Amino acid sequence: MKRKRPAPRPQAVVRAIVFCVLAAGLFLFWQFPPQEIAQRESWEEFLVTADIVKAERIGEGVTKPWRLYLKKGDTEHTAAWKDVESKSDGIADNWRHEIAAYRIDKLIGLNMIPVTVEREFKGKKGSLSLWAENKYSLLKILEDGIEIPEAVLKQTDDMKYVVRYFDCLIANDDRTQQNIRYTADWRTILIDHSRAFQSSRKYTEKLIFGMKGIKETEEGKPFLIRRVPRVLFENVKALTLESIRRAVGPYLTDKESESVFARRKLVLDEIAEMIKQDGEAKVLY
C-alpha cells in the first residue's frame, strides 16, 4: 500500500539533529535511520488518531494479532494490533509489554523496535505497532538458504549480540527466528515482545543469555553476548529505577520495573566479566 509519511514536527527534528551530533557513535548500530527516528512522535500520533479502514487477522504467532489498515488525511499505513493478556507455566504474555519494550528501546537508544502505542479496537485495549517494512525473517533466511551479503556480515553479526543484550535486559524469553526481521538493506528490526519483562526469581537472578545464561545450545554451550556498542552499554549503565518507571508508565507493574533494574546490574556484571577475560577493545566498540 502506498503511503505518504507524516511531516516531522520541527522540535522533533531539532532534537534528533542535536542527538545525532552528540552521540555519533550510535551510527555504528542504529537500525532505524535518523530521519525515521525524528518522525516517531508523528507516527505515535498517527497510530492513536488515524481511522481504521480495514482489519484482518494475521496468521502468524500464537497471539493471533490483527493487521489494521489506517488512514489519516493523505497518510496511509498498516499496523499490528494485539490484546493478549494471559499467563501460562509462569510466563506472562501481555500486550502492555509491547509498549514497554518500545519505550525502553527509546530510553536506551536501541532504535530497533517499531513505533508502538495503546489503541482500542473492537472495544478492547491493546498494543498497536507500526508495520515495519522488512524483506526477510531470520527463519526465512535459514529455511531458504538465503545468503547474507559479505558486505553486511559484520553488521548483522554485531546486531545478533545487540539483540541478546537487549533481551537480557527485558527478560525476553521468547525471541524466535520469526520475530527477528531484516530490511532490504539488511538492517535488523525486532517485533513481538508480549512475553518480555518476566519478573520471577528465575529472571532476576540469571540473564537469558551470557556466560551463565538460562539458554544454552543443544551442546550445552552458552549463547554469548560477545560485544556491544559502547554508547548502548553506557546508556544501560545510566538507567535508574525512576528513569525506567517514567519511561514505561502504566505498562509495567512495579515488580516488572524493579526486575528490569535488577537485570541492569546483571548485564553490567556480564560485560565487566567479558572485559576482564577478553579486554575492553574486543567487547565495547
Domain boundary among 130, 165, 197: 130
Q: Which pLDDT belongs to residue 64?
A: 80
94 grid coordinates: 501481555
Same domain, 23 and 79: yes
Which structural domain range is residue 268 located in? 136-283
266 grid coordinates: 546483571
Segment 68-79, tens digit of pLDDT: 999 999 999 999
The DSSP secondary structure of 162-176, one letter per residue, reads: HHHHHHHHHT-TT--
Q: Which pLDDT belongs to residue 61?
A: 57
Same domain, 74 and 192: no
Same domain, 147 and 72: no
Q: Which pLDDT belongs to residue 26?
A: 45
Long-range contacts of 202-208 (CB under 8 A, 24+ apart): 202/90, 203/171, 203/173, 203/259, 203/263, 204/259, 204/262, 204/263, 204/266, 205/266, 206/266, 207/168, 207/263, 207/266, 207/267, 207/270, 208/164, 208/167, 208/168, 208/171, 208/172, 208/173, 208/175
Mean pLDDT throughout 36-63? 91
- The average confidence (pLDDT) of the chain is 91
Residue 17 has pLDDT above 60, yes or no: no
More confident residue, 27 or 35: 35
CATH number at residue 219: 1.10.1070
Q: Which pLDDT belongs to residue 60?
A: 61
Q: Which pLDDT belongs to residue 8?
A: 47
Same domain, 202 and 226: yes
Judge if pTM exceeds 0.85. yes
Separation of alpha carbons 190 and 161, rounded Å = 13
Q: Residue 81: phi, psi to the nearest 5?
A: -115, 135
Same domain, 115 and 174: no
Residue 20 has pLDDT above 90, yes or no: no
Residue 229 has pLDDT above 60, yes or no: yes
Q: How many domains does the chain have?
A: 2
Indicate the SS3 state at residue 200: coil
Same domain, 116 and 220: no
Q: Which pLDDT belongs to residue 59?
A: 75
Residue 158 has pLDDT above 60, yes or no: yes
Same domain, 147 and 105: no
Q: Residue 250: phi, psi to the nearest 5?
A: -80, 5
Segment 113-133, tens digit of pLDDT: 999 999 999 999 999 999 988
Same domain, 25 and 112: yes
